[in-house]
Amino acid sequence: MQGYNVKTLTQFLIERQADIPYATGEFTRLLYHVGVAAKLINKKVNKAGLVDILGEAGNVNVQGEDQKKLDLFSNWQLIQALKNSRECCGVASEEDQEIITWDDDLSKDGNYIFCMDPLDGSSNIDVNVSIGTIFSVYRRVSPRGEKATMEDFLQPGNKQVAAGYVIYGSSTMLVYTTGRGVHGFTLDPSIGEFCLSNYSINTPLDGGIYSINEGNYSRFPQGVKDYIDYCKHDDKETHRPYSARYIGSLVSDFHRNLLKGGIFLYPPTASAPKGKLRLIYECNPIAFLAEQAGGRAFDGTQRILDIKPESLHQRVPFYVGSANMVSKVEECIKKYE
């Protein structure tokens, strides 16, 4: 009789443990716990229409945005998972002004710090559109046995040991990299496991999709306006005009473009000269994934992963996706320097 040939996230993590230099299994345990939290968040997201979880929680987060109830739930669930993993000495979250550390010896001995956007695209919750979780893992630079410090969190993105996201879409997927390619796992709800579905994802060098909140067009730098005009221009040879696709969830917009080929842009404006997206827990993890899949990410002047963060919730302009498309927008921006 024929059975199922599946590889679960846990099996894969154990198999690939050697990918992480000096790995001792600590990192594998950390990601395992993140996978469990993702399943619990997924369960809540699926029920969002049924129970009293929709809508605002009445607090304002560190960005001054309303916190939706699911943001708070996801934040709490992930922090519990990280604490339970006993491998994590500190957390930075979009939902918390300060870094989170613990006083117990096991946590203080943890080797890793974790940065996260627990729920990305939360304005889409109430209207049943895909949302996500974004995360990034670093090895601490402060000594083990002590509490994590800000220095641990202000490392440039090129020091990430892992990054990934969970997308709660028409199916739920977990996509991650440890610097050895990008791998995707789809949740099979019948067995409650993330199963390997996209081994070694490579993003096309050229894409046909551009993703930007074009309602802000009049406020964009001239180089970005020129690039948008370029995207719309009719040219058979370069397969233009491109398709415009914008969900308003970075995770969902990036995920689609990663698989199909495309570019996501969040430029600066005069009133928001750093754009909207946060370096440490939105742009760095997505940039790491993009590069690992053969794409590019830059902020208008430099590679995202080479930026030395100055503060936890710092924002940066963000251009990410298919390498040739990012190079084209770079060319447009550089014309006005």
Token representation of residue 65: 């945005």
Segment interacting with ligand AHG, rule: CB under 6 A, options 119-127, 186-194, 230-238, 286-294: 119-127
* Distance separating alpha carbons of residues 4 and 282, to the nearest angstrom: 36
- E strand or H helix at 144: none
> 275 burial class (0-12, 13-18, 19+ CB within 10 angstroms)?
buried
Number of residues that bind ligand AHG (CB under 6 A): 11
* Distance separating alpha carbons of residues 293 and 286, to the nearest angstrom: 11
Told to check if 213 binds ligand AHG by CB under 6 A, we report yes
Q: Which of 120, 152, 193, 291 binds ligand AHG (CB under 6 A)?
A: 120
Place of tokens 């918390």: 96
Residues in the site for Mn ion, rule: CB under 5 A?
94, 117, 119-120
* Nearest residue relative to ligand AHG (C-beta): 213
Contact 267, 221 (CB under 8 A): yes
Within 258-287, the residues that bind ligand AHG by CB under 6 A are 276
Q: How far is the CB of 329 from ligand AHG (least distance, A)?
A: 16
3-state secondary structure of 46: helix
Q: 116 or 162, CB closer to Mn ion?
A: 116
* Nearest residue relative to Mn ion (C-beta): 120
3-state secondary structure of 60: strand
Q: 3 or 64, CB closer to ligand AHG?
A: 64
Q: How far is the CB of 212 from ligand AHG (least distance, A)?
A: 8
Q: How far is the CB of 224 from ligand AHG (least distance, A)?
A: 14
How many residues can be counted in the chain? 337
Helices (H) and strands (E) in the chain, counts: 9, 15
Told to check if 87 binds ligand AHG by CB under 6 A, we report no
Q: How far is the CB of 55 from ligand AHG (least distance, A)?
A: 14
Q: How far is the CB of 121 from ligand AHG (least distance, A)?
A: 4
Within 241-260, the residues that bind ligand AHG by CB under 6 A are 248-250
Q: How far is the CB of 168 from ligand AHG (least distance, A)?
A: 13
Segment interacting with ligand AHG, rule: CB under 6 A, options 118-126, 217-225, 234-242, 294-302: 118-126
Buried b (16+ CB within 10 A) or exposed e, 295-315: bbbbbbeeebbebebeebbeb
Type of residue at 249: S
Q: 137 or 250, CB closer to ligand AHG?
A: 250
Q: Please, how many CA atoms are within 13 Å of residue 183, restricted to the half-sphere of its CB? A: 18
Contact 119, 74 (CB under 8 A): yes
Told to check if 97 binds ligand AHG by CB under 6 A, we report no
Contacts with ligand AHG by CB under 6 A lie at 65, 94, 117, 120-122, 213, 248-250, 276
